[in-house]
Amino acid sequence: MNTILAHYNYWIVILLMMLGFYIVIAQGNLIKKLIGLNLFQTSVFLFYISLAKVSGGTAPIFDDRFNTFSNPLPHVLILTAIVVGVATMAVGLALIVRIRDAYGTIEEDEIDRLDEMP
């Protein structure tokens, strides 16, 4: 019971991660796959930021009134990761537009079928 209560954040984050992962691999629509990837990325960010929290601390901005701060290093890493995530999403959406123009559909199995035809 103590283990469950001590890590409550992490259990829910793993659930969200697995939901996003399932959407990526099980859904056939390309846009839904991309949104599932976004979900997965955001839950990974949540995981890292949960690692960074220090109980009794505050945001890592120096001030005379506080002397315990949350861990700032994962914040920096996740800042980079968020922007990289949006860059990936923009390129992915551009690819979806071109795939639609080339194949006429954005469903994965129809694209496979069109590819197998000579």
- Report 2-61 residues binding other proteins (CB under 8 A): 3, 6-23, 25-29, 31-32, 35-36, 38-39, 42, 45-46, 49-61
Q: What is the rounded distance in angstroms from the CA atom of residue 70 to the CA atom of residue 55?
A: 8
Question: Which C-beta is closer to other proteins: that of 68 or that of 117?
Answer: 68
A 10 A CB-CB count for 5 gives: 7
Q: Per CB under 8 A, which of residues 65..104 are in contact with other proteins?
A: 68-76, 78-80, 82-91, 93-98, 100-101
Q: With beta carbons less than 8 A apart as the criterion, state whether 83 and 41 touch.
A: no
1 lines the binding site for other proteins (CB under 8 A) = no
